[in-house]
Amino acid sequence: MRQLLPVLLLAALPVWAQQPPNDLQPLPAVPPPPPEMEAFDAALEPQVTIVKTERETREEYRSNGRLYMIRVTPAVGPAYYLVDQRGDGNFIQSDAIGPAPRAPMWLIKSW
Protein backbone atom coordinates (compact mmCIF):
# COMPACT_ATOMS: atom_id res chain seq x y z
CA MET A 1 0.00 0.00 0.00
CA ARG A 2 2.85 2.38 0.83
CA GLN A 3 4.38 1.76 -2.62
CA LEU A 4 1.06 2.53 -4.34
CA LEU A 5 0.62 5.93 -2.65
CA PRO A 6 3.57 7.69 -4.38
CA VAL A 7 2.43 6.30 -7.75
CA LEU A 8 -1.06 7.72 -7.25
CA LEU A 9 0.34 11.08 -6.21
CA LEU A 10 2.57 11.20 -9.28
CA ALA A 11 -0.37 10.29 -11.51
CA ALA A 12 -2.52 13.07 -10.00
CA LEU A 13 0.22 15.71 -10.19
CA PRO A 14 -0.46 16.73 -13.86
CA VAL A 15 -4.11 17.33 -12.99
CA TRP A 16 -3.17 19.78 -10.22
CA ALA A 17 -0.62 21.48 -12.45
CA GLN A 18 -3.20 22.49 -15.03
CA GLN A 19 -4.71 25.89 -14.50
CA PRO A 20 -7.97 26.93 -16.15
CA PRO A 21 -7.50 29.65 -18.77
CA ASN A 22 -8.51 33.13 -17.65
CA ASP A 23 -9.74 34.33 -21.06
CA LEU A 24 -12.99 32.33 -21.07
CA GLN A 25 -16.06 34.39 -21.90
CA PRO A 26 -19.70 33.37 -21.33
CA LEU A 27 -21.68 32.49 -24.42
CA PRO A 28 -24.10 35.13 -25.69
CA ALA A 29 -27.74 34.56 -24.80
CA VAL A 30 -28.88 35.32 -28.38
CA PRO A 31 -29.06 32.23 -30.61
CA PRO A 32 -27.39 32.41 -34.01
CA PRO A 33 -29.61 33.30 -36.98
CA PRO A 34 -31.12 30.41 -38.94
CA PRO A 35 -29.49 29.37 -42.21
CA GLU A 36 -30.79 31.03 -45.34
CA MET A 37 -33.67 29.30 -47.12
CA GLU A 38 -33.27 28.33 -50.76
CA ALA A 39 -35.46 30.06 -53.28
CA PHE A 40 -38.74 28.25 -53.96
CA ASP A 41 -38.91 26.82 -57.47
CA ALA A 42 -42.51 26.24 -58.54
CA ALA A 43 -41.36 24.19 -61.54
CA LEU A 44 -40.09 21.44 -59.22
CA GLU A 45 -43.42 21.01 -57.47
CA PRO A 46 -45.99 18.68 -59.08
CA GLN A 47 -49.26 20.18 -60.25
CA VAL A 48 -52.22 18.40 -58.62
CA THR A 49 -55.70 18.54 -60.12
CA ILE A 50 -58.57 17.21 -57.99
CA VAL A 51 -61.69 15.97 -59.77
CA LYS A 52 -64.65 15.01 -57.54
CA THR A 53 -67.63 12.97 -58.71
CA GLU A 54 -70.37 11.12 -56.86
CA ARG A 55 -68.55 7.80 -57.19
CA GLU A 56 -64.92 8.82 -56.68
CA THR A 57 -62.32 11.51 -56.16
CA ARG A 58 -59.34 11.60 -58.55
CA GLU A 59 -56.10 13.42 -57.86
CA GLU A 60 -54.09 13.85 -61.07
CA TYR A 61 -50.37 14.54 -60.61
CA ARG A 62 -48.51 16.31 -63.42
CA SER A 63 -44.87 17.28 -63.75
CA ASN A 64 -43.85 19.58 -66.61
CA GLY A 65 -47.35 19.15 -68.05
CA ARG A 66 -47.06 15.32 -68.23
CA LEU A 67 -49.56 13.19 -66.29
CA TYR A 68 -47.59 10.57 -64.36
CA MET A 69 -49.87 9.40 -61.54
CA ILE A 70 -53.55 9.32 -60.59
CA ARG A 71 -54.79 8.60 -57.08
CA VAL A 72 -58.36 7.31 -57.10
CA THR A 73 -60.36 7.37 -53.86
CA PRO A 74 -63.71 5.63 -54.39
CA ALA A 75 -66.74 6.57 -52.27
CA VAL A 76 -66.65 3.03 -50.88
CA GLY A 77 -63.40 1.11 -50.55
CA PRO A 78 -59.69 1.81 -50.25
CA ALA A 79 -57.78 4.26 -52.42
CA TYR A 80 -55.56 3.00 -55.24
CA TYR A 81 -53.05 4.52 -57.62
CA LEU A 82 -52.68 4.45 -61.41
CA VAL A 83 -49.01 4.97 -62.24
CA ASP A 84 -47.32 5.56 -65.60
CA GLN A 85 -44.07 3.73 -64.87
CA ARG A 86 -42.54 3.86 -68.36
CA GLY A 87 -43.76 7.28 -69.44
CA ASP A 88 -45.66 5.87 -72.45
CA GLY A 89 -49.18 6.77 -71.26
CA ASN A 90 -50.13 3.25 -70.09
CA PHE A 91 -51.16 3.33 -66.45
CA ILE A 92 -50.69 0.34 -64.15
CA GLN A 93 -52.85 -0.05 -61.05
CA SER A 94 -51.05 -0.14 -57.74
CA ASP A 95 -52.32 -0.23 -54.16
CA ALA A 96 -49.30 1.67 -52.83
CA ILE A 97 -46.52 3.82 -54.18
CA GLY A 98 -43.10 2.20 -54.51
CA PRO A 99 -42.02 -1.35 -55.23
CA ALA A 100 -44.45 -4.08 -54.26
CA PRO A 101 -43.30 -6.08 -51.24
CA ARG A 102 -42.10 -9.56 -52.08
CA ALA A 103 -43.47 -12.47 -50.11
CA PRO A 104 -40.82 -14.45 -48.22
CA MET A 105 -40.23 -17.91 -49.73
CA TRP A 106 -38.33 -20.82 -48.22
CA LEU A 107 -37.59 -24.26 -49.60
CA ILE A 108 -39.32 -26.71 -47.25
CA LYS A 109 -38.76 -29.98 -49.07
CA SER A 110 -37.30 -31.04 -52.39
CA TRP A 111 -36.85 -34.41 -54.08
Q: What is the pLDDT of residues 28-73, one digit of tens each?
A: 788 777 877 676 666 677 889 999 999 999 999 998 888 999 999 9
6 backbone dihedrals φ, ψ, rounded to 5°? -65, -35
Q: Supply the pTM of this predicted model.
A: 0.51
Separation between Cα atoms, residue 100 and residue 94, nearest integer Å: 8
- Domain assignments of the chain as residue spans, ordered by start: 47-94
Classify 10 as helix, strand or coil. helix
Q: Is 47-94 a domain of CATH 2.102.10.10?
A: no
Which residues make beta-bridge pairs with 81?
Answer: 71, 94
Contact 75, 54 (CB under 8 A): yes
Which residues, in sequence order, are CB contacts of 96 under 8 Å at separation 6+?
Answer: 81
